[in-house]
Amino acid sequence: MSIIIVFVLGAFAGALVAHKIYQHRVDGIMKGEPRTMKEFIVRRLDRKLHLDPNQLEQLRAIVEETHAEMRKVRKQYRPQIEEILARSQEKIRALLRSDQLEKYDKIIAEHKKKRENDKNIMTDTKE
């Protein structure tokens, strides 16, 4: 009986670790972390197309160039996006009761802090 419990606990621990690793990778992709996103694209195409080393090198250069161009576009439109978000947040604040405003402001502050951290990660790595 104890061997079964140990086996089940081991399987559970392994599944948990695998899930955390997968979640970390998915989070990196969803956050748009440059290195993670670029490697995801390269690996996926390499796996599906069986690229030779020369093609792989060229693909990496194309993905890097594309990422740099997209970063410039995002930077260009960021002020407009921030304005739209600010207007939306003010409209939402206007419909909330006073007991909800404090919670909402806390949610917005946490989200803003997370966006700033994400932005710092992207500008620090510049990949």
Residue 35 falls inside a structural domain: no
Residue 84 falls inside a structural domain: yes
H or E element that contains 37? helix 34-49
Residue 42 falls inside a structural domain: no
Residue 89 has pLDDT above 90, yes or no: yes
Residue 7 falls inside a structural domain: no
- Give φ, ψ of 32 to 5 degrees: 80, 25
Q: Where in the sequence is the domain holding 90, given as residue range(s)?
A: 51-125
Phi-psi region at 97: left, alpha or beta (left = phi > 0; alpha = psi -120 to 50): beta
Residue 79 falls inside a structural domain: yes
- 61, 41 contact by CB (below 8 A): no
pLDDT tier at 127 (50, 70, 90 boundaries)? very low
Residue 61 falls inside a structural domain: yes
Residue 14 falls inside a structural domain: no
Residue 22 falls inside a structural domain: no
Please spell the DSSP secondary structure of 83-121, one letter per residue. Answer: HHHHHHHHHHHHHS-HHHHHHHHHHHHHHHHHHHHHHHH
- Count of the separate structural domains present in the chain: 1
Q: What is the pLDDT of residues 103-122, one digit of tens each?
A: 999 999 998 888 777 666 55
* Integer Cα distance of 45 and 39 in angstroms: 10
Q: What is the pLDDT of residues 58-75, one digit of tens each?
A: 999 999 999 889 889 988
Please state the pTM of the whole predicted model. 0.51
The residue whose two tokens read 């009986």 is 1
